[in-house]
Amino acid sequence: MKEARQTALGRMYRLCDRPFTVYRRQDDGTVVRRRVKCYYESKTIYSVDNAGTPHATSTFLLICPTDDPDLIIPQDRVLPGEGPEIMADEWPTFLPAKYPGLVIVKTSTPYYFAGEIRHIEAGGLL
């Protein structure tokens, strides 16, 4: 039964095939790096405020199939592809301005079906 479930989930998440590296700073200061496969999209929303000033807001959405509700949490940093090893002293400078494609997670929500976690949706600003 579990094998059949995995096959069904594989079909359901067939678009979650892009490799990413997830970085998390632990309480002791060390940086943990994990590789995951996810679906990724980004968009830019253009608007004009009441004063006529144009604004652009870029956001991203990352969907990762998992059974771990803590796979991605707010303040994690995510880089497309195989990311470099980051040491604890490099963490303060590990920023999107220095690493193209790097995003900092602002929200993450686990989604459940039939009482079991199926995937996490993470997002934030670019």
User: Which band of pLDDT confidence, cut at 50, 70 and 90, is reported for residue 9?
Assistant: low
H/E run at residue 14: none
Q: How many structural domains compose the chain? A: 1
Quote the pLDDT of residue 10. Answer: 59
Domain that holds residue 119: 2-125
Give the tens place of pLDDT for each residue, 22-38: 999 999 999 999 999 99
Give the tens place of pLDDT for each residue, 50-108: 999 998 888 999 999 988 999 999 999 999 999 999 999 999 999 999 999 999 999 99
Mean pLDDT, residues 8-22: 82
Structural Rg of the chain based on CA atoms: 17
What are all long-range contacts of 95-102, with beta carbons under 8 Å and residues at least 24 apart? Answer: 96/126, 102/77, 102/78
